[in-house]
Amino acid sequence: MLECNMANDKPVTEVRLITILKEFSKDFRKEVQLDLQKLRGELRLDFQETLSQYREEEIIPRLDKINGRLDKIEQELRWIKQDIKSLKAESSTVVSMKNFASLRAKILSLQEELDEIKAKIGLAN
């Protein structure tokens, strides 16, 4: 840094003063750069520690909750799929309205034929 010994120094001229200030500014700039590098390193470490702590305290617990919810949803979906399969199996054994109407028409037709046959042979209803 700038040291000044008044007894041994040459007289301060404008040129000498400019030279001294240039040297001072170079030394000051180097010190500031070193301080900034040190500060950047400290900030980087602090940021990494803070980020790691936030991850551990906030993000991971939230992700665990989300995973738990997803597990429950997956189980519910399995149950719904089973219900759908059961309903499909059930509906395949149930007669559709179209088939029901067709079967009913056949039964009524057969009933009429039976009534006609009974009438021909003399059986009463």
Instruction: Supply the pTM of this predicted model.
Output: 0.42
Domain boundaries, the chain: 14-94, 97-125
pLDDT of residue 9: 64
Long-range contacts of 19-22 (CB under 8 A, 24+ apart): none
Nearest Cα to Cα of residue 103 among 114, 95, 92, 112: 95
How large a percentage of the chain has pLDDT more than 90?
46
Q: What is the mean pLDDT of residues 113-123?
A: 82
Q: What is the mean pLDDT of residues 49-73?
A: 94
Q: Which letter does DSSP use for residue 2 in this model?
A: -
